[in-house]
């Protein structure tokens, strides 16, 4: 099973709706869609320059937080709100931090 699908299932199992993109073109189309997103997660295998370009496209229409999953040797990802290791517990912790903060602000 692909890493993309594994992450998608993990997030769905924790109650999140997920829209996945298997390549840059699909991800760019999703960024440019009128569909509102609560959060944008970039996988660690995406080339650094593509991450920066996708964040820029996403930010054109959304103020939602961006999580960039990073390899140890990857440099800073410009305009990402969070830069974390791709370990599932860390990903879930940061997502809960974001979602939990929104729940408190709304409540």
Residues 37-64: tens digit of each pLDDT: 989 999 998 999 999 999 999 999 899 9
Residue 78 CB neighbour total at 10 angstroms: 11
CATH number for the domain running over 3-106: 3.40.50.2300
Note the pLDDT tens digit of each residue in 3-45. 888 899 999 998 888 999 999 999 999 988 878 898 999 999 8
Q: Who contacts 93 (Cβ-Cβ below 8 Å, separation ≥6)? A: none
Helix (H) or strand (E) holding 82: strand 82-84
Domain extent listing, the chain: 3-106
Report the interhelical angle of 3-13 vs 88-106 (nearest 10°): 40
């Amino acid at each position: 099973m692909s890493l993309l699908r594994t992450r998608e299932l993990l997030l769905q199992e924790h109650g999140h709706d997920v829209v996945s993109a298997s390549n840059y073109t699909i991800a760019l189309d999703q960024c440019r869609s009128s569909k509102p997103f609560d959060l944008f997660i970039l996988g660690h295998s995406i080339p650094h320059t593509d991450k920066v370009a996708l964040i820029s496209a996403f930010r054109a229409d959304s103020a939602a937080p961006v999580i960039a999953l990073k390899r140890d040797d990857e440099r800073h990802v410009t305009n990402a709100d969070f830069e974390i290791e791709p370990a599932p517990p860390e990903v879930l912790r940061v997502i809960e931090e974001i979602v939990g903060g929104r729940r408190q602000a709304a409540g």
